[in-house]
Amino acid sequence: MVKKRTIWPYVLVAPAVFIILCVVFIPVINAIIMSFQNYDLRRPKEIAFNGFSNYAAACRDPLFWGSLTRTIIWVVCGVGFQFLFGFILALLLNKEFKGRGVVRAVSMIPWVTPGVLIGLMWRWIYDGNFGVLNDLLLKVHFITDKIPFLSQVTTAFPSVIVTIIWQGIPFFALMLLAALQGVSTDIYEASDIDGASAWQKLILITIPSIKNTIFVTALLRIIWVANSVDVIFNMTEGGPAYSTQTLSVYIFNKGNALNLGYASAMALLMAVLLLFVAVPYLKMNFKEEV
Amino acid sequence: MKQVDMKKIFCVYLPLIVILLFILFPFYWTLITSVKPEDELYGTVVTYWPRAFTLESYRKLFTTTVNFFGAIKNSFLVATMTTLVSLTASTLAAYAFSRYQFAGRKILMCTFLCNNMFPTVLLLIPLYSIMRKMGLLYTPTSLVLSYTTFTIPFSVWLLLGFLNDLPMSLEEAALVDGCNRGVAFVRIILPILGPCLVATGVYIFMTSWNEYTFAVMFTNAETRTIPVALKSLIGQLGVQWDLLTAGGIITIIPVCIMFFFAQKRLVEGLTAGAVKG
Amino acid sequence: MKQRLLGKKTMAIAMAALMAAGTMTGCSAGGKENTETAETTKKETTGAVTATSTAKDGQASTGEIKPCTIKFRYWADNTDYSQLMQDIIKKFNAENGKGITVVGEETPWDGGAYSENLFNAKMGGGDIDCATWKLTSTPLFVNNDLLADLTPFIDAWDKKSDIDENIYNIMVEAGDMERVYVMPWNIQVLYVYYRPSIFKKAGIEVPKTYEEFLEAIEKCTMDTNGDGKTDVYGFGMRGAKGGQEPWGSFVNGRGGSFKDLTTPEAVQGMQDFVDVYKKGYVPPTAISDGFSEIIANFKSGLTAMTIHHTGSSKDMEKVFGDDVSAFPFPTGKGQWTSMGDTETVIFNSCENKAAAFEWVSYLAAGEGQKMWCEGTGNVPVSKSIQASDFFQNNRFMKASIDGQGYAGIVPILDTTTEWISSLWPNTVSQALTGSITPEQCMRTLQDGLYQ
C-alpha cells in the first residue's frame, strides 16, 4: 500500500468516476429529493415537499413490512443456495476431467438466458395444467394431483426462489473458479505430504485463500438479488395475494404507477438496509489495511 | 486404482451430473419448445421429444418484422463496447484502490457500492432527458454509457476482491528490482489477474447482453437489442412461444461458444502468470 | 375527484344508435357526404385546419400541411399485426399526397408497461409525435399537459360524423370532461366463448340469464373418464392482471356497479366469483391465470367457457372449427361487459399537428381503419366500415355487436392503472384463497379506486 501523496491514484480512478458522475449523479440526487415530496406524477399539480411523511407512511404500510420480510427470505435463501451450488460447481469445474471446457461453457447457460425468457420459461415449466414439472412428478408418483405451483400462496414464493437460485449459480461458479486459479498449488502439495484430508484442505487452504472473493461476490450478489425484479415480475407480478411481492417488486410497482415519491422513499430505506449488510465487509476490508 | 475411479465418480461426476441436470433442463425445455408445433404445446400429454419437428419459428425470426439479426448485431455491439470500456476503467480504478492510500478513497469505494443499490425504474425520466440533451438517444452509445455506470462499480469491487486475494510478494519483488509501478502492473499483475479479468469481463458482457429497462427506453427500431426484440413477441394476445423460445436459443448458443474459448484463458492465466512454483 | 363513469344506459343507447346508423348509411360514406360536412364544419373551426380530402378522393390539399415527418409509436400484439401496421404506414405514405411521411416506431406492449415507457419518454422530452393508446392512461398524460387537444381538428374533420357522438363522449370523459384528447380507433367487446359439444354433453342450452350462466358453469364441470377427478371445468376464470374485465360482468350481473363496489349486490357478485372457484368449477390455477392461460386452457379443452373478445377468434376457429361459438354475457339484475379500447393520440410537442391528424384520422375512418380491423378482427369505430359484409357475417363479431349495448369501461381515474395492475389481482386472490371475505375485498377495491 502506497501512502505518500501522488497524483496517480486520482488519474487511475478518474475515468470510472467521470462516467458515473456524468450519468447517474443527477438522477440519483433527483430521486433523493423526490423521496421528501409527495411526488406523484398522476397528480402533478399537488407536488410539494412533505418532509418525512413518505418514510412515515412506509413504516405504517403493512405491505412494506410484508415485502421487507419476503425480501430477507428471498435474499437469504436465494443467495445462500446460489453460493452453495455455485461453489460446489466451481470446485468440480476446477478438477481435471474430459470435456471440461464444454461443461464449463454450458454451465453458464442460465446466466446467458435473457431475463425476459427466464421468467416465462419457468412459469411455463411450473404451469399447473400443461407444465412439465407436474408431469414429471406425476410420472414418478411423487404426487397424485397436479400442483398449481404459482397459484397457491404457499408454493408460489418457493417456486420463484428456485428460479433465482437457478439463475445465479453460474455467477458464483465463474467468479470462484477464477479466484481458485490464483491459489498457489504448492500449498496443496505441502498439505498432501502432511496427509490432510480433502475436507481439511478445503476448510484450511482453499476457503481462506479466496475469502476476499467470497465476501465480495456474496455482497455484490446480495445487492443484485435484493434489487432484482424481472424474474418475479415475469413469473407472478408479485401475486397471488402479494405472496411473492418483495420490496424491489413493490418499489417497481409504485414506480410504474408513477408514485415516485413513495417509491423513492422505500428505495432509500432499502439502500440503507443493504448498506448495513455491507458494513461488516467494509470494516473488515478497511481494518486489514491499517 | 479401481477405488480411485469410484471416488472420482462419487465426488466429481455424480454431483456434477445432478447440478448440470438442474441447470440444463430449462434450456432443454426451451429448445424443445422452439421446435414443437403449437398444438403440441397445449396438448393433454406432455411430450418430451416433439412428435412433429419444425424450424418454422427460426425462419420467421429472421424474415418477419422481428428482424432478429439486427437485434443480435446491436446487442453484440453494445455488450462488447460496454465490456471494453468498463473493464478498462474498472481495472485501473481497482488497482488504485488496492495499491494506493489516498484522500477520498473510502468515500469513493462506498459510493461505488451504493451506486447499484438504487432501482433503475426511479432514474428513468432524468436519465432519458440527459441522454436526449447529449444527443445520444437511440444510439448504441447511450446504452453503453448507461450500462457502464452500473457495471463499473460492480467490476471495481469484484476486481478488488480478486486483487486482495492475490499474493503481493511477486509485485513487491519486481518493485525492489527497480521496475516502476507501471511496468510491474503490466508485466506481473495483468497476467496473474488474467482469469479474473476474463470472469469480470464475462460478468459485464452478460449484464449488458440481458438488460431490458434501459434498452427499451433508449433504442428505436434500428438500434434495439435482443431483450427488447424478445419482449415484443409478447403482446396482448399472449406469448408467441415458438418465436420466443427460438429467439432464446439463438441468443444463448453464440455466447456459450464464445465462453468456451474464453474459459481457456481461465487456465492459461495461471500458467502464463508464473505463479506456479 | 371527478368520477368519470360511463353511464351504462347512455352507452346502451349510444351503441344501439351507432349500430343502427352504421347499417343504414350503408357501405360508402367515403365520397358523397364529405364535401357537405366539410362545408358546415368549416365555420366552427379556428381556421387552423380544414382537412378535406382523403387519398381516395384525390382532391387537392388545403396547402396548409407542409411536407414533414411524423414519428408514430405503436405496439403490435404479434408479428402479423406488426407487419400489417407497417403496410398501412407504407400505403399512407405513398398515397396521402401531402408529403407526409409517417415513421413507425414499434415498442413492446410489455404487459401494459407500454404506457409507462411512453410516459417516461415524453416526460424526458422525447420527440414522439403521436402514438397508439389505451384510455386508462389518459388522466396521467392529461394531468401532465402532454396531449394535444384534438377538438378543433375533429370539429373540422369531414368524417367526424362517421364515428358516433358517444364514442367521442367516452374520450371526453376520460380526459378533462371538456376536450377530446384521444382519437377513437377500434374497440373490442368481451363475450363468452363456449364449446357447443360440451354444452350438448351437459345437456344445456346457451344461457339467457345470469343465473342460468352460473348453472351452466356448474353443469359443464365434469369428470369425463370416471377417475374421480375433474377433466373439464365449466369456466376459465382470469384471476391475474386483466381479470377485472370478466369479473365486472359478475358484479354487474347481480345488480352491482362500479360506482359503489360495496353494495350488497356487488358483494354478492364477488361471492359468486369466489364460489365458482371454491367449488372447483374453474381450474385450480385460476388465481394466477392470465390471458394466455385462459386461452390455452380453453383451446386444450380443459374449460368449457371463457371470456374474451374477437382478438382470439381466428385462433379458436383454427383449433375447433365449428365446435366453438359465442354468446354475449347474459343479463341478471344488471348486465355489463367490458369494452376494450385502442385509440391514438397526438402529443403537445408535435410540431405538425395537422399532418399528424391526417394520419390518425386515416386510422380512424380511412383505409387504415379498414385494413387494421379486417386484419385483426377488432370492431371498427367507423360506421361505414362497420356496415361492410366482413363485419356483418361473422358469429364472433355478432356476439361483440350484440354486447355493445351494455359494454362499458372500468371508471377511468388517475388511480385506475395501479388498481388494475396490482390492487385488483392481489386483493381478489386474497378473497379467492379465503384470507379475506368478499365484503373486505370489495371495500379494499372501492377505497383503492376512489382514493
Same domain, C258 and C392: no
DSSP assigned state of C405? G
Question: Which of A34, A40, A41 is most worth mutating to test chain C (most C CB atoms within 10 A of its CB)?
Answer: A41
Which of B42, B64, B232 has the CB atom closest to C299's CB atom?
A: B42
Residue B268: predicted pLDDT: 55
Q: Number of residue pairs across B and C with CB atoms under 8 Å?
A: 93
Same domain? For C196 and C78 the reply is: no
Under an 8 A CB cutoff, do A227 and B119 touch? yes
The more confident residue out of A81 and C314 is A81
Contact B259 A108 (CB under 8 A): yes
Assess whether C63 and C125 both reside in one domain.
yes
Give A49's strand partners: A37
pLDDT in tens, B14-48: 889 999 999 999 999 999 988 888 778 777 778 88
Is A85 at the interface with chain B, CB within 8 A? yes
- Look at residue B91 and tell me whether its pLDDT is greater than 70: yes
C124/B125 Cβ within 8 A: yes
Chain A with chain B: Cβ pairs closer than 8 A: 309
Cβ separation C293–A127 shorter than 8 A: yes
Binned at pLDDT 50, 70 and 90, residue C31 comes out as very low
Arithmetic mean of pLDDT over chain B: 84
| Band (C24; pLDDT cuts 50, 70, 90) | very low
In this predicted structure, what is the pLDDT of residue B2? 55
Residue C181 pLDDT level (bands cut at 50, 70, 90): very high
pLDDT value of residue C59: 36
ipTM over 0.90: no
Q: How far apart are the C-alpha atoms of C209 and C230, rounded to whole Å?
A: 25
C4 lies in some domain? no
Whether residue C378 contacts residue C187, with contact meaning beta carbons closer than 8 Å, is answered with yes
Shared-domain flag, residues C324 and C359: no
Find the CATH number of the domain harbouring C296. Answer: 3.40.190.10
The DSSP letter of residue A142 is: S
Contact C368, C357 (CB under 8 A): no
- Note whether residue C136 is domain-resident: yes
In this model, does residue C90 exceed pLDDT 70? yes
- Residue A273 C-alpha cell reads as 438496509
Give yes or no: residues C176 and C38 share one domain. yes
Q: What percent of chain C has pLDDT over 70?
A: 86
| Range ranked top by mean pLDDT from B148-152, B189-193, C4-8 | B148-152
pLDDT of residue B187: 79
What was the pLDDT predicted at B121? 84
Residues C145, C250, single domain; the answer is no
pLDDT one digit per residue (tens) for chain A, 290 residues: 566 678 888 998 999 998 888 888 888 899 999 999 999 999 888 899 998 999 999 999 999 999 999 999 999 999 999 999 999 999 999 888 888 889 999 999 999 898 889 999 999 999 988 889 999 999 998 888 889 999 999 999 999 999 999 999 999 998 899 888 877 777 777 877 777 788 888 888 888 888 888 988 999 999 999 999 989 998 998 889 999 999 999 999 999 888 999 999 999 999 999 988 888 888 877 776 54
Strand partners, A75: none
Give me the residue from C123, C302, C426 closest to A239, CB to CB: C426
Note down the domain range covering C97.
Answer: 24-189+340-406
Name the residue type at position A248. Answer: S
User: In this complex, which chains have at least 3 CB pairs below 8 Å with chain B?
Assistant: A, C
pLDDT for C143 equals 92
Contacts 24+ apart (CB under 8 A), A50-53: A50/A261
| Helix/strand/coil (H/E/C) assignment for every residue in A30-88 | HHHHHCCECCECCCHHHCCECCCHHHHHHHHCHHHHHHHHHHHHHHHHHHHHHHHHHHH
CB A85 within 8 Å of CB A165: yes
pLDDT of residue B3: 60
- Contact partners for chain A, using 3 or more CB pairs closer than 8 A, are B, C
What is the model's pLDDT at position B273? Answer: 40
Angle (deg, nearest 10), helices A153-180 and B190-210? 150
Do A236 and C288 count as a contact with CB atoms less than 8 A apart?
Answer: yes
Q: Quick one: C295 and C367 in the same domain?
A: no
Asked if residue B132 has pLDDT above 60, the reply is yes
C394-450 pLDDT tens trace: 888 888 877 877 888 889 998 998 999 999 999 999 999 999 999 999 999 999 999
Q: For residue B36, how many C-alpha atoms fall within 13 Å in the half-sphere facing its CB?
A: 22
Distance separating the N- and C-terminal Cα atoms of chain B: 28
Confirm whether C11 is domain-assigned.
no
Which distant-in-sequence residues (6+ apart) come within 8 Å of C89 by Cβ?
Answer: C72, C102, C104
Q: What are the φ and ψ backbone dihedral angles of C26, each rounded to 5 degrees?
A: 80, -160
Q: Are C391 and C323 part of one and the same domain?
A: no
pLDDT score for C403 = 83
**Cβ distance of B270 and A179 shorter than 8 Å:** no
Nearest to A220 among B88, B102, B157 (CB): B157
| pLDDT reading at B82 higher than 80 | yes
Give the separation between CA B209 and CA B147, rounded to whole angstroms. 10
Task: Note which residues in 294-313 of chain C have CB less than 8 A from chain B.
Answer: 295-296, 299-301, 311-312
**Is the Cβ–Cβ distance between A240 and C426 less than 8 Å?**
yes
A115 at C interface, C-beta within 8 A: no
Interchain contact C124–B (C-beta under 8 A): yes
pTM: predicted TM-score of the whole model, two decimal places: 0.87
What's the average model confidence in pLDDT over C81-95?
Answer: 94
Partner-chain contact C126 B128, CB within 8 Å: yes
> Based on the domain organization, do C243 and C293 belong to the same domain?
yes
Which of A42, A151, A241 minimises the CB distance to C435? Answer: A241
Residue C444 lies in a domain: yes
Q: Please, which residues have CB within 8 angstroms of residue A113's CB and are 6 or more apart in sequence?
A: A121, A167, B26, B27, B30, B210, B248, B251, B252
Domains and CATH numbers, chain B: 1-54 (no CATH), 68-272 (1.10.3720.10)
Is the pLDDT score of C101 beyond 70?
yes
Distance CA C335, CA C272 (A): 15
| pLDDT value for A96 | 82
Residue C36 confidence (pLDDT) above 70:
no
Shared domain check, C299 and C275: yes
> Where do the domains of chain A lie?
62-247+267-289
pLDDT tens digit string along C333-378?
999 999 888 999 999 999 999 999 999 999 999 899 999 998 888 8
C256-to-A200, C31, C144, C215, C445 alpha-carbon distances in Å? 71, 45, 33, 20, 14
Alpha-carbon distance of A13 to B95, in angstroms, equals 9
Which of A100-104, A252-256, B92-96, C304-308 has maximum average pLDDT?
C304-308
Q: Which three cell numbers stand for residue B240?
A: 408467441
Domain total of chain C: 2
Residues B228-254 have pLDDT tens digits of 999 888 888 878 888 899 999 998 988
C185 and C100 within one domain: yes
Tell me the mean pLDDT in the region C269-296. Answer: 93
DSSP states of C269-309: HHHHHHHHHHTT-S-TTGGG--HHHHHHHHHTTSBSEEEE-
**So what's the pLDDT on residue C194?**
95
Residue C3: inside a domain: no
Q: Which residues in C423-449 are b (16+ Cβ under 10 Å) and which e?
A: bbbbbbbbbbbeebebeebbbbbbebb
- A62-247+267-289, CATH topology level: MetI-like fold (1.10.3720)
8 Å CB contact between B20 and A103: yes
**pLDDT > 80? residue C23:** no
Amino acid type, C325: S
C70 and C137 in a common domain: yes
- C123 touches B: beta carbon within 8 Å: yes
- Output the pLDDT for position C387: 83
According to the model, what pLDDT value does residue A205 have? 84
Residue A288: the pLDDT is: 65
